[in-house]
Amino acid sequence: MVPTPQIDASLSLMLGPPKRPVKAAGVCRPSPKLAWNPSATGARYADVYFASAPEGATAPQATALVLWVLYGGTLDPPIASVQLLVRPLEARSGSNPQPVTVFSGRPGQLSGLLRCPGDSALPLAWTASSGMTRSRFRSAALVGVRIHVNNGSVAGPGAELPHIAAVGLQLSPPQQEAAAALEATALEATDE
């Protein structure tokens, strides 16, 4: 029997720009009513799709993942990896996007990079171990991003995991102006 995917209702909290209470948060602390907080027992990733992606935006134009974090959690690193969800040039329209790893977290790596509370830009880059050749990556259409949270052991119902209130992508020119409006508009998470 195939398990039924479980959709985490808190994923919708990452949609759109940061809300007023998110921007007003002055202390880094768990905020489950304002941010996505992955389940301690279920899937610890979110697929984020960008409906407002500029026409013709390609994978290499995504230079940073911008996260608005309200709590960094206790695991190091809080963000285990980031994958761009891309559609290779030769893929049929409507086919499932292919995940390509563009950020791999290491212990201590995010300590000076992750602002809490606030927005942080995680640098994204293709590497030889990304899961796609460089030439295919250069022409692949940008569809979304998959954020993997550290899957280390936690004692409670997720309070030790990061709380993410908003997601965006920073794009390099020529789509740089459009990047300001590029915000999460659709999300899903599934148990594997």
- Tens of pLDDT, residue by residue over 45-91, are 999 888 766 678 899 999 999 999 999 999 999 999 999 999 998 88
Q: How far is CA 15 from the centre of its chain?
A: 12
Which pLDDT belongs to residue 7? 55
For the record, the structure tokens of 63 come out as: 């230079």
Which pLDDT belongs to residue 148? 95
User: How many CA atoms lie within 13 Å of 124's alpha carbon, on the beta-carbon side?
Assistant: 29
Which pLDDT belongs to residue 41? 82
Which pLDDT belongs to residue 52? 67
Q: What is the model's pTM?
A: 0.84
In the sheet with 141-149, reading across from the earlier edge strand, the strands are 98-104, 79-87, 141-149, 45-49, 186-188
- Return the bridge partners of 164, or none: 36, 69
According to DSSP, the β-strands at 79-87 and 98-104 are antiparallel
Q: How far apart are CA 3 and CA 166, in angstroms?
A: 29
Which pLDDT belongs to residue 182? 45
Which residue ranges in the chain fall short of pLDDT 50?
A: 1-6, 175-183, 185-192
Which pLDDT belongs to residue 165? 94
Which pLDDT belongs to residue 68? 94
Q: Which residue has the tokens 């309070």?
A: 159
